[in-house]
Every structure is written in structure tokens, then in C-alpha cells.
Structure 1
Amino acid sequence: MRTIHLSLILGVAAGASASAPDAPLLARNPTLSSNAIAFEFGTDIWIVPKAGGQARRVTSGPGVESSPRFSPDGEWIAFTGSYDGNPDVYVVPTGGGNPKRLTFHPGQDQVSSWTPDGKSVLFSSSMDHGNSQPRLYTVDVPGGWPKPLPLPRGWIGSYSADGSKIAYIPNDLWQPEWKRYKGGQTTPIWIAQLSDSKIEKVPRINSQDRSPMWVGNTVYFISDRAGRYTLFSYDVNSKRVSQLLSPEPIDIKSASEGPGGIVFERLGSVHLYDFASKTAKKVPIEVSDDLLEVRPKLENVGSQINGADLSPSGVRAVFEARGDIFTVPVEKGDARNLTQTPGIAERSPIWSPDGKKIAYLSDASGNYELHVADQQGNGKPEVVKLTEKPNWYHGLAWSPDSKKILYVDQSLRLYYLNLETKKVTEVDREPYYWFGDAMNPNWSPDGKWILYTKRLKNKLQAVFVFNLDSGKTTQITDGLSDALSAVFDKSGRHIFFLASTDVAQTISVGGMSSMAHPVTRSAYVIVLRSSDPSPLSPESDEEKGDQAPPTGPPGPPDRDVKIDFEGIGQRILSLPLPPANYEGLVAATPGTVLVLRGQPVPGQGGGGYTVLRFSVQGRQATPFAQGVFGLTTNSKGDKALIQGFGGTQIVPTMAPVQPGQGAVNTAGMQMMVEPRAEWRQMFFESWRNMRDFLYDA
């Protein structure tokens, strides 16, 4: 056990001392008694003298303890505890002891404060509601059934001294970290007369008012009405609102009243506002904790897989798990951790078609760059800086000759990189950001064309191709329907895609009309060469009579992709599939495509995709897999990597998937987890997210 100061950037800043006296704290939600301050730290409740000093742990349960509140006499601390897998109201003596559970509702019961007589705890809960809007309740310390306040809803509250009124927040903001929010979910403070439920509203102009605290004839609260959250007061007699503290660069996060003052949290540090002097000062706090959470440990990360791809032959898969890159065999051999870099995030691995390399994104330099590594982990990876300015990338795809890589940046520009010359070529740009993977780029089998989708001015997507030799882009579909998930057939003679004519209402992100709207799509095939026959022309069995057998072996297939653009719109054919909410296509062997069918209403239900296998030759779709969340195929299209309810499987694409078939054993995906290094990476990645996607700089 050792003594530390609770640094917000615990191990974040390289070389920073954990015992620096001016380090910010990780103390949350402080509460005040006549001689002590209690707060939450590391999922436990701690207590420290009012003047500061060495803190003492009050609770040490295996669950999360939060929102401590002193009783009026300072003898008890009420808190929200998750000991039994559910947040409920507990009380514990200030001197320590066995916490006593007061509520047993199978939902969240959130401690707010106490009744003035100290006999009951005020808390919020949705126990009597069919929706998520909570009400305020009290529960007696000796036990008993919770009693609702005569208010239809409420979140946080504070009683007047005589208990006849309560200052409270009627609704909770679903995203409390949304700064400068001025929409319909702003949080006012209301004062209710409990005898008749009559309401008085604290004056405001669309501000966020939080943490109401009733002391004497004054309701104190924190508010962003001055730009940043700071301390205000409302005189219930004069009806006047006063600002008590000047706003600082860092907001006040929470506050609680007590004898002689208010304690509040700012940047994880505890501050005490004194009523007499009307000044605030930081309370120095030290905590002695063993901090088991920061110890390095060996952990299996097979359940934390994100990105995945298949080797060309399908005997191994490459996974991104907890920021490292692994390859795992389907049958023989061991799992390999190719990167072994705690505190560095490696993402989006793809296996080259020649089987020699694995490319992925890494933030080892502080920003994401492309790394190209040996598939067995030998030597150091080749590092390619894709852009001069820091950027984010997705949609990585190898060219068939393993010499180029496609990618899309955060500005939705589509590029390809020549790995031999390091030349980057811009292909196109998506003009409108939308949810999901933008553009869905992929290569033609001969590597001379890039296929993708892009939104037009009408916000509908169309199918485009880019020719590497000419540098010319051509739109294929007419833009009168929403086309997506275009893929080249492995033969190079066709393009498959999905399209919808009833998707329009879902395009409105900000409108309620986009909510829970059924969408249907149909699947189509484009015949690329004008000389090729229709793959769906009418069939007829005819007697052929005596014919001479063919002489000699068949010649090699023509792998050059040729696109005749003249009249191509007349060569777009509807596949014989009933319209449904198809959400993706994955090319399999030549003439076959895997179709991902979602729930009838997008976003509703959690059953995963139903995957169908459509064969042009058979002209029908057959069931392939159920309950699928992720699907990719190898470069040949004869093997599929499936992630779903049945686990992770590598299976042939020519027949329906059987339970347990080709199960990938991820038990060997072990890595050394170093929490401090991971927290450092998480901190800076969070900042990069803000820098690159939120702020205009």
C-alpha cells in the first residue's frame, strides 16, 4: 500500500509523479457534514476531515458505490450501491460498518439527499413508471416500502428546512456532458409545495441548472448561465438569482450543501465554498490505496474482437482485439500476437491477397498511420504516413496484386496508396457525411477499377467506378434510387448492388419521421460487357441431339475487367429475391454473392443478420447463416469468416453453415494488459476525437 494523490491523468502524462501535491483528483460527488467530507473514488466511498488530509475508506464492496450523501446529523452516509448487480439505495455508518440495503427495485435507484429530520433518504427511481422518466421517493432508514412524492417526475431534489417544500430538477438530461446545449432537454429547477404540488420556477433563460441545495431561505445550484458551470443562488423571498463564483475554464460538475458551506467537484478536485466568507478553496486530500486496478495482468481478449479479416487460403484469421493484432488458426497452430504494444491502438487489420503482409492502422506516433507488417510478425512493420495533417482512416482494402491499398479519411475522401512508390492518389470525395461506412470501396478482380458508392445532391447514393489507367470516374446508376453495397463479382463480369426506392424518410437525421421506418431494398446485377448474355435470361430445356464432344481443355478465364458504359443502364437486372431490408452484400465465389438481411425496421431487434447465398447459375437464394454480426470473405471468395451468436467461424461459402463448423478457438488470444498505458492512450484518443471531429480548428 502506498500514498498517492489521485491524478486525473493517472499514468497519462509520461513521467508525471502520482504524488505531485498540485495534481488534480479523481474524487467525485463530494458531500459535507459539520466536520468531514465524503466522496467517491475508485468505486468506493471515502471520508476525509473537513480541512483535508488523509482520507479513510468507508466502503470496500465488490460493486460500484457512488453518490454519497451525509445525513443531517452526520452519523450516516446514504449512497447508491451496485452490490448485487443492480443500483439500489444503501446507508452505512460514518465510522464504517456493514452497509444496509433500503431498496430492492430491479432498476436504478439513485440517491439524492435526506429528509430534514434524517429519518428517510430521498432518491429517484422509475419503479412506478412504464418509461424511463424517474420520480422522487423517500425510504425510511429502518426499512419499509418507498413512498413517492406528489410530483409526476423528478431527478435530484433538496428539502426546505421544515420539509414542506422541495427544490428539484423535473427531468434529467440524457447527455450531461453536452456543453452549451440549449435544446428541449435543458434542466430547470422547480420549487414544489408538497401539500398541493404547486410549482414555482427558478428564473432562467434556457440554461442548464443542476444540483439544487436548499439552505435557509436560499436555493443554491450550479448553472451554465454564465457560460461555464459555476455556483449561483436563488433567494426564495426576493426571487433574485445571484452569481456567487466567477466561472473558471473547468466546469463545476457536482455540488452538495452541508453545515456552513457547499462542497463541489471541479476537475476531480474537491472545493469548499464557505457561506461566511463567500469564498471557495481547494481541499487537499490524500488517499492510501493499493490500486489493484493498475497492476499489469495477463488477460484473454478473445471476447473483445473488433476488426477481422481472413488469410487468402482461409486457414487463419487476423483480429483486432483490445488494440493488438492477432492471427489465429482455424485448426492447427497457436494464436500469434503480432504487435504486443500496450498503450498503442492498432485497428482495422487486412490480410494481403498474396498472404505475405498484414496492414493495419496504428497510433504509435500519436496519430493514426498505416503499418504494413510481416504476417508472421518478423521484423518491424513498414510505417506509411498517409497524410501530412493528423487524420482518421477506414475502409482499408488491398488490391488483388498486393501492391496498393484503398482507404477513406475523416473528410470522406477516397484514396489509394501505391506501396512501391508511396504515391497517394485521390479517387473521389463523399460530399455528405452519413452514418455507417462511407463509400464502401472495393477493387475489381484485375485491380484496374475501384468500385464505390457516393451520395448525390438528392442525398441518394449512386454506384461509381474509377479507372486507374485513365483516372476517370463514371457514374453507373441513375440516382433515382438509393444504391449501396456495390461489389464486384469474382469473375469480373458483373457488379452486384442493393437499391431502395422507399428509403427517403430515413434520410432525415434530425426529424422524427426517420424513426422506426420500414425500409425495403432489392438486389441487382450489372452486366459489364455489352457482348455478354444476360445471366437471368429465360431458360428452356431442349433436346440437343448428337453433338461432337469439345476438344482440348478449356482456355483460361478472361480476368481482365472490361466495362462498356454505353447502354449500361439497360443491363441492370433485378435478382429474383423478394424485397426486404437487405443491408449488405459480400462477394463469394464467381457468380455467387452473400446477402445480409436485417430486421424489417432498421435498428429494431437484436437478432443479427440472416445471410442468404445467391447463385446466378442457380438463380435462387438459399439460407447460409443466422444470427450474424460480422461477415467477410477471403480474396478468393471460397471461405467466409463469420462472427455471430454461434461464435467465430471460418467456413466454406458453398454450403449452409452448420453449428460449430469451423469454430475458431480464441482462447489463445492472450496479451499483457497495462492499465496505465491504456488509460494514456484512451485519454489522448478521446482528445483527438474532439480535435478532429468536433472543434473547428
Structure 2
Amino acid sequence: MNKKLLSVLLISLGVTGLSFSQEGPGYFMHPDVHENTLVFVAEGDVWMTSLQGGMATRLTTHPGDESNPKISPDGQWVAYAASYEGPTEVYVMPISGGLPKRLTYEPAASIPTAWKSTTEVAYTTNQYSNLPRLKTVVIDVNSREKEMLPLEMAAEGSFDEAGQTYFFVRPTYHNNVTKRYKGGTARQVWKYGEGEAEAVKLTQNYEGEDHHPTFHSGRVYFLSSRDGIQNVWSMNPDGSDIQQHTKEDSYDVREFSLSGNTLVYRAGADLYQQDLESGNPERIAIRLVSDFDQLREKWVDNPASYITNISVSNDGEKVALTARGRVFVFPAKEGRMVRLSRKDGVRYRDAVFTTDSKDILTFSDESGEFEIHQYSGLGLDQGKQLTDNGTTLRFNLTPSPDGKWLAWTDLNNDLWIRNLSTGKAVKANLTDEDLLGSMSWSPDSQWLAYGQAASNTFMQLFVFNPTSGKRVTLTSDRTNSLNPQWSSDGKWIYFLSDRNFETKVGSPWGQRQPEPFWEKQMKIYHIPLQKGLISPFTPKNELKAEVKKSEGPVTVMIDEDGLMERVQEVPVPAGNYKNLILTDKALYYHRVGPGPGVYYGGGASNADDPALMMTPISDKAEQKVFADKINSYAVSANNKYALLRQGSNHFLVELGTSPVSDLSKNRLDLSGWKFSIDPREDWKQIYTDAWRMERDYFYDAGMHGVDWDKMHEKYLPLVDRVTTRTELSDVIGELIGELSVLHTSVRGGDTRDGDDNIQFG
């Protein structure tokens, strides 16, 4: 053979061999071993391989997630949990493959925990509990006859060889990702012998958790964090002679299984086998023969359901929508939709138009922190970063009318105003009390009006001049005042305040004496910034001269003396109002249902009979419905245009003084809006976002003494191993669990589900 040809052939064979020996992605969970057969969960399916690893065989293919496989004592069957038809139920199938057989029909989730014999499977469910506590039920795989163990709380258990003694945990799992938990609901290992009067607690003298007991060869193996990392331990059936078997010092041992002299366990994303005598662990090199369907490019067909922010340009020609961390600019009528950036690994938040309607300002986490970036509204550039000092989440980007200033708030309850020319930023507020409601710039861009809670929690209104640093208090701390809005001439500030006391519950309040239910709390007020001004709502008389609109630029003047005492009520009936908007001719406000929702932004449900209300600014003020059945709306910075939402439809209208008779003519066409997602890049961003939000929202700035940056680095490599959104949640749970705090859990996301969803009852 030609030497050159032989060389090429050998190289080709070498490359081919190398490509098959390389391991692809794979996040391996829930191992169970019987002799040399190993089953586990990956990609939401049950797989099988040998203890030597290599190519694994997929046993299940249904879109519904499978979990917790358990091989029967004779090695012929595997029981597992699956959500094939809605509820999570127990199924059993031949270990060699075949049609699964459904064993349980419980409305509540049922999870297999162990085989009692070759024909009996034990599972846990809270279906038979008065409280949300798990009980153990044994079911015959042939007859489906069930027997409930006489234990009030019992889960994560296993039987001895004779099937007479059950080892279990109590209290049952608290459904938190907490690690190294010590407290009243910490799981402990118990045992119960058939026919005995009481169960016996085995684990003693340890405040932390011991759980997932497995009886094997005369000892009870279990998981515990006694050495700081969760590892496998064992003890005698009477609780004596506690020994440690695994010595993982980084990732917790999450699950384990035993057969003969072999211990198989999961740590991180990998499975390990360890000889019980030698104690030396070896990683099981597993290769999934899969097309990794859940890693494929994903298309979002209903982006409108993910909208988190809306901005309308001041010229009324464009709308910017932020959805799933992406920013899109739509024309009001005809034209092309623009996506500002196609970096799937970057999240964008709260995009707004600049004052001239040409550019977009948005928060971007491309640098690792949310910084302010500016993009061309035409999508023609890669944007420029305006800030570089982000340490926490920021919100509410609000550019000034002249485009020279930019205001925002952050999670520390600080209000910042940045000079866009010099880059210098000043803090407007004095305290760290809650900042709530919208901010509003004066017409001359010299003052910013905002609301902040006083020490008694009532919201007060202030105005701040970023040039001089002057701060003026507008309202008292005796009532809540919200949504400050400037008149176009800069002489008045309008706002909402809960100064009306009207209860739906009559007095006296009945035999059971319920609290009064306040409704129609909000009234509209305005305050003259100078003495001697007459309200535009005052009827014409000899003292009220006709006010002519000045032609020159507006200059705001504030007479502080007696300012709070000059507050006047606007002649609009009290109601459940929020989101006040002011134009030069009218007031607009959202009529919603009763309740605390009037104090916050956002929308209203159809049950609240919502409407966008309007009252002309004149001596003949008459309340009108500007647009009915409006769930929410967003307004341009100059208050000339509004995007109204009715259900899933959006309509762009001009804020005039005549009610809108036919919204359909102004419908924003989102019918062709779709976009793709690279799951791997998306998941990396979601992981970092979860890490960052936990840092920013956690009650202890010291993060319980945990090096939070180090934790991000520790678990980030596992994100490259995940193949499903559920596996990503598992990684995030591992990360968050390092804080050792209860009431923390991870759920949600684009999880894979089956088509069938059969409900009971």
C-alpha cells in the first residue's frame, strides 16, 4: 500500500477513534445499581449502562420527565416516577426495555423509594395525609393492591432483606435546596419493625440532617453533612458504630446506591463507583448516544407573553419591547422589526427610548453586572456602555426632556441622576427607605420629582435639582402620595393620594367584626409651586384671569414657603386609581379594582373592570372613560402617546381629549414576532442571573459568610454539562443551597412536558 495513503488512513482512523472516545454533555442523576447493571437519569429519561461505563442505552423516550429509577431485587424490572399524563406516578418496565406499566393513580405526586420484594414497590405520597407530609405505600406490581405503612411521616426509606423492617426519615423532606440545615425540620433516620408499636429514632447527637437510609449487608447507609460536605455514612441497625465511606470535599453526594461490595454515587454531574473495602472512588465514564434535542436552537412562538417592559418613543412612531432578556423595536404602522442584539448569553432589561427617539437605553449584563448601555434604535451598532460601577440591580431608566440627564433607581433604594455629558452621577435621596412609583422630570429638565417612604412607611413626594443639589419636600408623611406629574408650564405638580376613607363593610361590622375594607381611597391632588396661582379647575370668575400660554422656554420656580399647605384637591370623584399621567389638556389614570394594587404599578385583571380614565383640565372637568377594558398601559416620556393592552393585544394611541371609539385601528401588529434561543448560552446567563439576584436580594449582605464569587466559579462548570432546563435548576439549587438558609427552592423555566394532562375529579 502507498505509504502516503496508509498515513492518511491511520490519521483518519485515529481522528475517528478520538471523536468516539470524547465524552459529550451529560448531567447524570439518580443512580441505581444491581450487580453490573447501572440505571440513571439524564435528559429527563432513564438510561442504562454497566459499571464500566461507555455508551449508555436510553430506556425511556417520553417527553414527560422520568426520575428515581429503582431496579428490582431480581434485576428484571425498573420502577420509576414519570409525568406521562399530568400527575407524577409510579411506572414499572422490563430492564431490557419494553412498554411501561402504570402502577399508581394518585392525584398527588408518587415517587418510588425502594423494592420490598421482587413483586412489591414502596412509594411515597402525601395523598393520604391531612398535612403536607409524606407517607409510604407498598403496592403489588401484579395485583396493584396497596398497603399503607402505619407511620404518620415516612419517606426516603428502604427495607431489610426480609422486608420486615423499614428504615425511613422523619420529618419528611422540607422541599428546600438548603445544605447543612440544622433546625426543627431536619430529617433524621428512623426504623420500624413490622408489628411493633413504635418506630425508633436511630441517628442521635447531631443537629443536622441524616437522610436517604439504605439497608445493605447488615448496615444502614445514609447521607449526612457531618464533615461539612454531604457524604455517604453508615451505621449498625441500632444506630451505633457510625462510619464515613465517601470523602468528597467539593460537590455534595446527592444520591447513592449499593450492590454487593460496590457503592455508586453522584457528585456534581458525574457518577462514581467505590469499593466498600478499599474506599477508592472511580468516575464512571458515560457517553450518551443522543441527539440532545433539548440543546437544539429553540424558537419562542409567543414572545408577547414574556414582555417585561414597554417603551413608546416620543414621536409615537416606534415601540420598544423587552421580552426574555431581548430588546425589539417595532414600528407603529409599517416597517421592519429590529432586534438590538443577538447575544443569547446577555440579558437586557427595561429598555427605553432616548428623548430624541433615535436610540435605546437599556440595562445589560454583558460585563457581568447590569450596566447602562446605549444602542441605535435602528439596530445598526453593537452599542456602547455608559456606566461601569454596577454592584446591584438597577431599575427605572428615566431620561430628561432635554436628553442631558438620566435617572435610575437601584436595589439599595438609591436614586441616581447622571449627567450624560460629564458622566458624573449624584444621589438624589437622603434615606434608604423604599422608593416607590414613577419619577417625573420637570419641563425644563432641572428638577426630578419622585416618591420615597418616610420612617413611618408613608410615601412622600420630593423634587430634586441635580445641578444645585437642592431637595424640596412636597407632601407630608401623614398619608401616601404617589405618581408625581408636572404640568406643561411647570407651575403645578399633580399626584395621587389615599386621603379618602370609605369602607365596603358597613358599621357596625357584624358579629364576627371584620376589619373595614377600604376602597376608593385615591384622590387626585395638585400643588401650586408658586403662591397666588389659581387652579385651572376653578370656575371662571372676576378673580380668575385667562391664562395665556407662554411662548418661551419654561423655567420652573418653586416657592417653598407654605408649600405643603397649598395642596388642593382636583374635582374628580375618589376611586381605585393608579398610574396618573398628565398632558397639557387632560389627566389620565387607571381605574382598577379595590385592594393594595392601587399602590403599585402594573396592570389589572378583567375582573376589576379596568379602564383608562380621562378628565379634561378645565373648569368643566368631567370624568370620562378614554378606553375601556384596558389591563395596562405604557406612556411615552413626553406623555403624548400610550400603548394600551387588552388581553394579549396592544394598541398605540395618541392621548387626546376624546375617548377612543375603535381601538382596532391602532393595533400594534406582533403577529410575526418570533425569535430563537441558544439554550446553552441562555442557561449560562440564567445561572449567572440567579447567582446575582440571590446576592442582591439576600437579607444578609455578608451571604452567611460564604464566598459568593467562589461559589459562582465552583458550579459554573456544571452548567456546561446540563442538557435540560430541569438539570439547570438542579445546578442552581446546588448553588443557592450553599447559603444554608431555609425557604429557598428552585422551580419553573422551559421544562419539557408531555402532551397529555389528565386531571382527577
* TM-score bracket, shorter-length normalisation: 0.7 to 0.9
1:344–1:362 CA contact under 8 A, matched in 2? yes
Aligned equivalents of 1:577, 1:412: Cα separation in 2: 32
Q: CA deviation at 1:600?
A: 3.0
Amino acid at match of 2:405: K
Q: Percent identity?
A: 24
Match of 2:494 in 1: 495
- Could you list the per-position Cα deviations for residues 490-530 of structure 1 after superposition, in whole angstroms to 9, with x for gaps in the alignment? 5641231344899xxxxxxxxxxxxx997765344241323
Equivalent residue, structure 2, for 1:563: 558
The 1:351/1:606 distance shift into structure 2, 3 A limit, reads closer
Q: Which amino acid aligns with 1:109?
A: S
**Does structure 2 conserve the Cα–Cα contact (< 8 Å) formed by 1:519 and 1:580?**
no
Contiguous gaps of at least 5 residues in structure 2: 1-17, 502-514, 708-761
Q: CA deviation at 1:152?
A: 3.2
The 1:247–1:276 alpha-carbon spacing in structure 2 relative to 1, beyond 3 Å, is: closer
* Paired amino acid for 2:244: Q
Equivalent position SS for 2:682: helix
Contact 1:46/1:58 (<8 A) preserved: yes
Q: 2 CA distance for matches of 1:252 and 1:330?
A: 55
CA shift for structure 1 position 283 = 2.0
- CA distance 1:652–1:109, shift in 2 (3 Å): farther
User: What is the aligned counterpart of 1:374 among 373, 376, 388?
Assistant: 376
Partners of 1:196 and 1:442 lie apart in 2 by 72
Q: Return the match for 1:585 from 575, 579, 582.
A: 579
Tell me by how many angstroms 1:242 deviates: 3.7
Residue of structure 2 in register with 1:142 after alignment:
142
2:314/2:640 contact within 8 Å kept: no
Report the AA paired with residue 571 of structure 1: R
What secondary structure does 1:682 align onto? helix
Structure 1 counterpart of 2:681 = 677
Structure 1 residue 164 displacement after superposition = 3.2
The residue aligned with 2:271 is 270
Report the CA distance between 1:486 and its aligned residue.
4.0
Q: Which has the higher strand share?
A: 1
Letter in 2 for 1:445: P
Aligned pairs (5 A) from 1:290-689? 290-296=291-297, 299-300=300-301, 301-387=303-389, 390-428=391-429, 431-432=432-433, 440-488=438-486, 492=490, 493-499=492-498, 521-529=521-529, 530-534=531-535, 555-556=550-551, 559-573=554-568, 584-590=578-584, 591-595=586-590, 597=592, 600=595, 607=605, 610-613=610-613, 615=615, 617=618, 618=621, 620=623, 622=625, 624-626=627-629, 628=631, 630-643=632-645, 645-653=647-655, 655=659, 662-689=666-693
Q: 1:624 to 1:221 in 2, by over 3 A?
A: farther
Instruction: Determine the C-alpha separation between the residues in 1 that align with 2:137 and 2:63.
Output: 26
Residue pairs, 1:206-217, within 5 angstroms:
206-217=207-218
Other-structure match for 1:48: 49
Alignment-mate amino acid for residue 590 of structure 2: V
Q: Match of 2:348, as an amino acid?
A: E
Measure the CA separation in 2 of the matches of 1:78 and 1:366. 44
Aligned to 1:14: none
Over residues 525-550 of structure 1, what are the superposed CA-to-partner deviations in whole Å (9 max), with x where a residue is unaligned?
A: 2413232235676x6x99x9xxxx98
Cα displacement string for residues 406-453 of structure 1 (whole angstroms, at most 9, x for unaligned residues): 122343322122222322222236525x6xx75743322332111222
Residue 574 of structure 1: how far off its partner (Å): 5.4
SS in 2 for 1:350: strand
Q: 1:163 to 1:376 in 2, by over 3 A?
A: same
- Give CA-to-partner distance per residue, 1:569-591, whole Å, 9 cap, x none: 22334567787776x42424344
Moved more, 314-323 or 61-70: 314-323
Q: CA deviation at 1:269?
A: 0.9
- Which amino acid letter does the alignment assign opposite residue 140 of structure 1? D
Q: Which sits farther off after the overlay, 157-166 or 36-45?
A: 157-166
When residues 260 and 500 of structure 1 are mapped into structure 2, their CA distance, relative to the original with a 3 A threshold, is farther
SS of the residue aligned with 2:368?
Answer: coil
Corresponding residue SS for 2:305: coil
Residue deviations 1:190-210, cap 9 Å, x none? 334454562322325431333
Gaps of 5+ in 1: 1-16, 503-515
Aligned to 1:95: 96
Q: Which has the higher contact order (CA 8 A, sep 6+)?
A: 2
Distance of 2:32 and 2:206 partners within structure 1:
29
Deviates more, 1:350-359 or 1:184-193: 184-193
Distance in 1 of aligned mates of 2:583 and 2:624: 14
1:42: Cα distance to partner?
Answer: 0.7
CA contact (8 A) 1:103 1:146 kept: no
Is the CA contact (8 Å cut-off) linking 1:25 and 1:267 kept in structure 2? no
C-alpha change, 1:397 and 1:143, in structure 2 (3 Å) is: farther
* Amino acid in structure 2 at the alignment position of 1:328: F
Q: Which moved more, 1:406-415 or 1:35-44?
A: 406-415
Q: What is the TM-score when the length of structure 1 is the normalising length?
A: 0.82
Is 1:124 aligned to residue 119 of structure 2?
Answer: no
Could you say which residue in structure 2 is the equivalent of 1:159? 159
- Residue identity in the other structure for 1:666: L
C-alpha separation in 2, matches of 1:25 and 1:230: 22
Q: Is the 8 A contact 2:486 2:582 kept in 1?
A: no
**1:373/1:380 contact within 8 Å kept:** yes
Report the CA distance between 1:157 and its aligned residue. 2.4
1:625/1:657 contact within 8 Å kept:
no
Q: CA deviation at 1:281?
A: 3.2
Kindly provide the CA deviation profile for residues 109-159 of structure 1, in whole angstroms up to 9, marking residues without a partner as x: 223222x21323322233345664443323332353654332334443222
- Higher mean displacement: 362-371 or 350-359: 362-371
The answer to whether the 8 A contact 1:271-1:281 is kept is yes
- Give the superposition deviation at 1:293: 2.4
| Distance in 2 of aligned mates of 1:532 and 1:172 | 69
Question: Cα distance, 1:632 vs. partner?
Answer: 1.5
Q: CA deviation at 1:45?
A: 0.9
Tell me, in whole angstroms, the C-alpha distance in 1 between the residues paired with 2:553 and 2:477. Answer: 31
Measure the CA separation in 1 of the matches of 2:22 and 2:320: 46
Cα distance in 2, alignment partners of residues 165 and 402 from structure 1: 76
Cα 1:466–1:596 shift into 2, 3 Å? farther
- Preserved CA contact (<8 Å) 2:426 2:466: no
- 1:346-374 C-alpha deviation (Å, 9 max, x unpaired): 22110123211111122233333222122
Query: What one-letter code is carried by the residue in structure 2 that aligns with 1:442?
Result: S
TM-score (structure 2 length as normaliser):
0.76
SS in 1 for 2:47: strand
Q: How far apart, CA to CA, are the structure 1 residues paired with 2:428 and 2:592?
A: 30
Given that 1:30 and 1:40 are in contact with CA atoms closer than 8 Å, whether structure 2 keeps it comes out as yes
Tell me, in whole angstroms, the C-alpha distance in 2 between the residues paired with 1:581 and 1:241.
Answer: 64
The DSSP-based 3-state class of the residue aligned with 2:428 is: strand
Residue type at the aligned position of 1:385:
T
Q: What SS class does the counterpart of residue 188 from structure 2 fall into?
A: coil
> Deviations along 1:606-625, whole A, 9 cap, x unmatched?
94773552536536475855
In 1, Cα distance between the equivalents of 2:652 and 2:165?
65
Q: How does 1:9-48 map to 2 (within 5 A)?
A: 25-48=26-49
| Cα distance in 2 between the residues matched to 1:66 and 1:83 | 12
Q: 1:34 touches 1:260 (CA, 8 Å); kept in 2?
A: no
